A = this chain, B = another copy of it.
């Protein structure tokens, strides 16, 4: 599923940066899971943490998006796959 049949690949440096950041997101999610075991926890504290994780995920998304634009979107016309590339992008940008 995550294998590209078209040979377009996420840039290795960005991939490693995203992986490191996502490890930190996982740690953050685990922190919220511990919060949720506490019977005293206050709604707003959890909402703040969820918002922070959301911000970290969006940052990762922005890094990958920029890399995708630079590596694959600006060259789509040369490759001839611009229809697919544009449709994919519009789908991903919906409701962001």
Q: Would B70 and A86 count as touching, CB distance under 8 A?
A: yes
State the oligomeric state as a number of copies.
4
With A26-B26, A92-B48 as known contacts, state yes or no: A9 contacts B66, CB within 8 Å: no
Interface size class on chain A is 35 or more
Interface hub of A33, A89, A90 (most chain B Cβ within 10 A) = A89
Q: Is the interface of A mostly helix, strand, loop or mixed?
A: helix
* Candidates B12, B73, B78, B90; contact of A39 at CB < 8 Å: B12
Q: Would A9 and B40 count as touching, CB distance under 8 A?
A: yes
Identify 6 new A-B residue pairs, CB closer than 8 A, beyond the known A4-B42, A50-B57. Answer: A43-B67, A48-B92, A54-B61, A69-B90, A74-B85, A74-B86
